[in-house]
Structure 1
């Protein structure tokens, strides 16, 4: 039996296999609203046989968007179209998840194909927030240092976003604390130089992430899993480390977090990443082993045998793919064939089902 195609149960939810879609920003929303692009984009992965489809980073506040074209969940008006998408995903036998996010100092930027960099307020941008007043890079906006009231508002926005996500039909919630966005900025000693209860010591720097996770867990159903995505290392001297990630994972698990989605980098422009196939898998394996919490592995996982080995060897409980699924939306069905497992082909596509050789 294939380990990759064995079911995974977290709380009261069972995924049909261990393959998931990692959040991938589409920069295709207007005023935070999902549209037909998102339906077709996410729906294709569900028909392609994956177990879990996680939406792109979905902003809990308008100023928490990476770009003006990001998805949002700060308004009840966002719920109906998202519900249409989750209904379709679930009808295909997959599970819909949502990544709740706030971009912090990396907000108010142009879409990648528009060149990136800051969007000025005159061109539709907005003031950005962060733990400290240091911009991500020279062409990024300078953040306003968050007050206590700002922090409270963000925590409440994550909880409200989770309530709307539930109304929209999502069955998994993921808190985005990676890639240099707001929560990651608070975690890192390289980007958090505060001298209050949210800066300085490790305990203070993890406080906001823990408070957000607790707030989301409080409104998220007991039977529904909660994930947190972290950057397990910053790839920069003096920054957040894998050892820090293990300690954070222990704290988050105690708060009711069910899985740590183990990515890396993105918080500082001077990072030096050692990119190679499966380069982030050891982070998931270490956190799983030492924090005793389920993990997801991500990053240049492209081959069926590679993904199978990750799960079979106990390095992670779930494998999340991104760019490889953009290239091959039915990767899971092809992987099932390669591994001799049974893939969940839609009835409409059975005529094309791969047969054992």
Structure 2
């Protein structure tokens, strides 16, 4: 009996060994695939990212900013296209959160997350700076290699955009002088100068101005949307001060002050609940107004940049070009007048 069972036992041992080898192979492959994934963030599926994004907006509306930022962070890191949507100020708040944490705690996770989020939102200079700090704090070769890879990619992108900007600026500021007219024939007629360089500069100038104006128009649209949101937030604040009854006359001043009416029961738990609702609504309104003010400042800055650009790059006037044969003909006219 023992002799007969031995081959079967050997087969089982071999099968188990093969299974174990396959497990190790797949585990190694998975580990290799995960090396390029961002560290420290909670990554989710594309479908979950959409859900998390909506949940973040819902939390923001109810005043639960911590939960809103947690959901928003996982959503945009897992599905970057969500950054193109209206985020109700969560992007700005998330960056501010990690700026504060990095300055306070001086830990690698805060610097890494701030650098990664800055890269996502287009602040390459800030991303490079914080990746460099995170690299200094890294303690293992694996993390150092990972951060170095991201840092080099940011430096490459930043160098490309700097070079592109320098080329555009050089093309715009270049204002070649028109060549002198060439005299031909007995009447002294001349050829028109080749103004292709000036025409190229003019087109680039118009393109840059159009970009500035498009940016200002986009900010105007955001301001208009946010002003509506601010009006709604203000209305909700007024309602919360009046038991959500819809009245907006601010009669119930005890929402944000200590009660002085002797008939008011200070131990009434309902009044404490209403005070909390009012504080949440007030905080939401103040947050929206702060974001609105930042947008208006951004618009003012863009308008100043456009104005400075137009002053530094005045429009090239075609009237300054010499007319065909104009100079010699004038001289001829003067001689005839004599």
TM-score normalised over the length of structure 1? 0.24
Higher-helix-fraction structure = 2
Structure whose alpha-carbon radius of gyration is higher: 2
* More relative contact order, 1 or 2 (CA 8 Å, 6+ apart): 1
TM-score normalised over the length of structure 2? 0.25
Higher-strand-fraction structure = 1
